Amino acid sequence: MTDTARIPESLHEQGEYNFAYLDEQTKRMIRRAILKGIAIPGYQVPFASREMPMPYGWGTGGVQVTAAILGRSDCLKMIDQGSDDTTNAVSLRGFFEKTAGVRTTCETAEASIIQTRHRIPEKDLREDQILVFQVPIPEPLRFLEPRETETRKMHALEDYGLMHVKLYEDIAKNGHIATTYAYPVKVNDRYVMDPSPTPKFDNPKIDRMAALQLYGAGREKRIYAIPPYTKVKSLDFEDYPFEIQKFDKPCGLCGAENVYLDEVILDDKGGRMFVCSDSDYCEERRADGHLGPMAADPAAARVGNTRTGETIR
Amino acid sequence: MTATQETQTSQAMTPLAAGFHDPVHDAQACFRAVMNAMARPGTRQSLDIAGLTPPAPLTSVAAALALTLLDYDTPVWLDKPLMASEAVKAFLRFHTGAPIVNEPVEAAFALVANPGQMIPLASFNQGSAEYPDRSATVILLGQGFGAARTATPAVTLTGPGIQDSTAFPVGPVPPVFWEQVAANSRQFPRGIDLIFAGAAEIAALPRSTRILPTEV
C-alpha cells in the first residue's frame, strides 16, 4: 500500500528540474547582467531576480548567479562564514547536487566555482576559479540615503562625500574607523561598492585577485562584479589609513597566524578558543601536521574532529 | 527583379538551419567563453561550435553567440550584409525570437558581418550615467587574431581584467576604429562593449579597457 505513494526512483533520473534549476530564459537574462557587471566593475546591474525555493537571506542572489554560470564539468564549493559544514553551505550544496548533479568539494584548490557567504578562503584563488558572493544589501550608500533615485544619482556623479562623512563620524565617536565588516571599497577608481558583509580582514584579498568575483543580491535584485586583477581600494583617510583586524593568538587547532579566527565556546565554565573560520584551511594544515596550542585539549579536539567528520561525509 | 524574387524564394525554401544540439549545455559553454573573454579583455577564448551551420554571412561562432545571448528581451541590429539575407533573419527570428530593429540606437546587441565598413560606435546605445548597463554589445564577425592575420598593428590594452598590459592584434576593423574605442572607454561608465568573433575563437573588449598609445 505504501508502494503506491512512493515516487519511483526512475523519475529522479528523468530530471524534474532543468539543469541547475533555472529555466534557460532566466539564465540568459542573468548572464547578460553578469556581462554588463564585468564591463562596469563595481556597478550594480539591476536584474529580474526570481523567486527561489529558499527564503531571501539564504543566498538567493548567489544561487542564481551560480546557476547561470555553472556547467557539467564544474566543481562547486559552498562556504558559509568560511565553513563548509554549516547549515547554509550544506543545504545550498545539496541544492546544486540535486538540481545540477555537479561534483562538489570542500577543498578550495579543487573547486572551479566557490559560492560564499561572508568570507573569502584563506588560500589564494587562481585565475581559473570564480568566486560568487551572496549579498544581502548591495548598496553601500543605502543606510546613509534610503532613496534609490538619490543613490543612483550619487553613483552617476561619483558623489561619495557622504560615505567619507560616515567614516569620519566613526573616527569622531570611536577614535578609529569602527566599521569591521561590509567595509566600503572603491573599484577601479570609480564605483564605491559593498564587498558584502565579509570581515574587513578580507578586503585586501579582493584587491587584484586573480579570480573573477561575482556578487548576487536576490532580494535587492542586483548583480555586480570585479574582474581579475582589478584595483580595489578600501576607503580611508591619510591620517587614519585602512587596517585589518589582528589576532593576538594563533588558531587553537592548527596554529595558523594571520588568518581570520572564530570564537568557539567549549564549556559552560568560560572555556573558549579561537579557531580558523576557514574550516578547509584549518583541516589541511592539521593534516600536514601543524598543531595549535589547544590541539591537545580534549574539549577542543572534539570540536576539531566533528568538523573533520562532517566535511569528509 | 525576377532574379531577386527567385533568390528570395530559394532562400525561403532552404530548410532552417539547426540551433544548438544541446541548448542547455552548449549555451552554458558558450556563455562561459564570453564571460571569460569579457573578464580578461584581449584574451582568446575557444568556442566549441560543432554542428552549427547557420546561413551565410552569419558565421558559426556568431550564431553560437546569438543563440546564447539573444531572446525576446534583446532587440538586435544587423549590418547591411546580414540584413540583406532573409535566411539569416529567419534563423535569428526562429531560434532567438529577438526583434530585429532598423535603428542602431534601439538595439541591445548588434551583429556586424562586414566590420571593415562598420558604422561609428557612437551610433549605438551608450547607456546613461544612471544606467550604464543599458548600452549595446556589438559583435564583430570574421575577426582574425594574431599579428600575421591582421593588417592593422596590434594595440596595447590595460585596465580591469588585465594584469599589467596585453597586446591585442585583431582585425579587420575600420581605419578610425581604435580612436573610437579609445573615445568609448574615455566616457566610462557609459559606453558599448565589443565582442570579436573569429573562426573558432572569441575575444572581448569591455568599455573599462583603456587603449595605450602604441610606441613607434
Concatenate the DSSP letters of all residues of A198-255 into one string.
Answer: -BGGGHHHHTT-SSEEEEEETTTTEEEEE-TT--EEE---SSS-------SS--TTT-
Q: What mean pLDDT do residues A93-104 have? A: 94
- Find, among B94, B99, B64, the residue nearest to B78 by Cα: B99
Among the partner-chain residues A28, A70, A228, the one whose CB lies closest to the CB of B69 is A28
- Shortest distance, CA A77 to any CA of chain B (angstroms): 18
* CA–CA gap between residue B33 and residue A104 (Å, rounded): 22
Q: Are B99 and B107 spatial neighbours (Cβ–Cβ below 8 Å)?
A: no
pLDDT band, residue A312 (cuts 50/70/90): very low
- For residue A27, the chain B residues in CB contact (below 8 A) are 27-28, 31
Residue of A42, A216, A255, A292 with catalytic role: A42
- Find, among A223, A303, A226, the residue nearest to A47 by Cα: A223
Among the partner-chain residues A28, A188, A225, the one whose CB lies closest to the CB of B71 is A28
Q: What mean pLDDT do residues A46-74 have? A: 95
- Whether omega before B172 lies within 30 degrees of 0, making that bond cis, reads yes
pTM of the complete model? 0.91
- Which residues have C-beta within 8 Å of that of residue A77, sequence separation ≥ 6? A84, A104, A105, A106, A107, A108, A110, A111, A113, A114, A115, A280
C-alpha cell at A169: 563620524
* CA–CA gap between residue A204 and residue A232 (Å, rounded): 8
List, edge to edge, every strand of the sheet that includes B166-168. B166-168, B155-158, B210-212
Whole-Å CA distances, B176 to A270, B116, B156, B167, B173: 72, 10, 16, 18, 8
Q: What mean pLDDT do residues B57-66 have? A: 95
Contact with chain A for residue B19, Cβ under 8 A = no
Q: Which residue carries 550594480 as its cell?
A: A44
A271 pLDDT more than 90: no
What pLDDT score was predicted for residue B146? 79
Distance of CA B169 to the CA centre of its chain: 16
Rounded to 5 degrees, what angle do the CA atoms A87, A50, A182 make?
A: 55
Element (H, E) at B27: helix B23-39
Q: What mean pLDDT do residues B119-146 have? A: 95
* CA–CA gap between residue A148 and residue A55 (Å, rounded): 23
Query: How many residues are given for chain B?
Result: 216
DSSP per position, A44-66: -EE--PPP-SS-TTSSHHHHHHH
Is A42 catalytic? The answer is yes
Q: Which residues pair with A222 in a beta bridge?
A: A46, A217
Residues above pLDDT 90, as percent of chain B: 76
What pLDDT score was predicted for residue B152? 64
What pLDDT score was predicted for residue A174? 93
Is A106 catalytic? The answer is no
- Measured between CA atoms, the residue of chain B closest to residue A38 is B39
- Which residues have C-beta within 8 Å of that of residue A138, sequence separation ≥ 6? A44, A194, A196, A215, A217, A220, A222, A224
* CA–CA gap between residue B160 and residue B209 (Å, rounded): 7
**Interface mutation vs chain A, best among B25, B26, B35, most A CBs within 10 Å:** B35
- Shortest distance, CA A223 to any CA of chain B (angstroms): 11
Element (H, E) at B109: strand B109-112
What single-letter DSSP state applies at residue A18? Answer: B
Taking only Cα atoms into account, the Rg of chain A, rounded to an integer number of angstroms, comes to 21
Q: What mean pLDDT do residues B93-121 have? A: 95
What pLDDT score was predicted for residue B175? 85
Contact with chain A for residue B188, Cβ under 8 A = yes
Region of poorest pLDDT, from A29-33, A73-77, A155-159, A246-250: A246-250
Q: Amino acid identity of A3? A: D
Q: Are A179 and A200 spatial neighbours (Cβ–Cβ below 8 Å)?
A: yes
- Shortest distance, CA B26 to any CA of chain A (angstroms): 9
What pLDDT score was predicted for residue A270? 87
Among the partner-chain residues B39, B159, B162, the one whose CB lies closest to the CB of A212 is B39
Whether B189 sits inside 8 A of A40 (CB atoms) is yes
Q: What mean pLDDT do residues B102-106 have? A: 96
Q: Amino acid identity of A297? A: D
Phi, psi (deg, nearest 5) at residue A236:
-160, -170
Contact with chain B for residue A157, Cβ under 8 A = yes
B147 pLDDT more than 80: no
Query: How many residues are given for chain A?
Result: 313
Residue of A59, A218, A252, A254 with catalytic role: A254
Phi, psi (deg, nearest 5) at residue A276:
-55, 135
- For residue B159, the chain A residues in CB contact (below 8 A) are 188
Q: What mean pLDDT do residues B175-187 have? A: 93
Sign (positive or negative) of CA dihedral B104, B110, B113, B114? positive
Whether B39 sits inside 8 A of A229 (CB atoms) is no
Residue of A37, A251, A255, A292 with catalytic role: A251
Whether A157 sits inside 8 A of B129 (CB atoms) is yes
What pLDDT score was predicted for residue A310? 41
Q: Which residue carries 535584485 as its cell?
A: A221
C-alpha cell at A12: 529522479
Whether B132 sits inside 8 A of A43 (CB atoms) is yes
What pLDDT score was predicted for residue A160? 96
Distance of CA A300 to the CA centre of its chain: 26
Residue of A62, A252, A282, A304 with catalytic role: A282
Whether A43 sits inside 8 A of B32 (CB atoms) is no
Is A101 catalytic? The answer is no
Sign (positive or negative) of CA dihedral A116, A120, A122, A125? positive
What single-letter DSSP state applies at residue B174? Answer: -
Q: Are A77 and A234 spatial neighbours (Cβ–Cβ below 8 Å)?
A: no
- Shortest distance, CA A159 to any CA of chain B (angstroms): 12
Contact with chain B for residue A226, Cβ under 8 A = yes
- Measured between CA atoms, the residue of chain A closest to residue B127 is A36
- Find, among A210, A227, A185, A35, the residue nearest to B159 by Cα: A227
- Find, among A145, A148, A142, A116, the residue nearest to A129 by Cα: A116
Whether A38 sits inside 8 A of B28 (CB atoms) is no
- For residue A41, the chain B residues in CB contact (below 8 A) are 160, 208
Contact with chain B for residue A32, Cβ under 8 A = yes
Whether A188 sits inside 8 A of B159 (CB atoms) is yes
Whether B38 sits inside 8 A of A38 (CB atoms) is yes
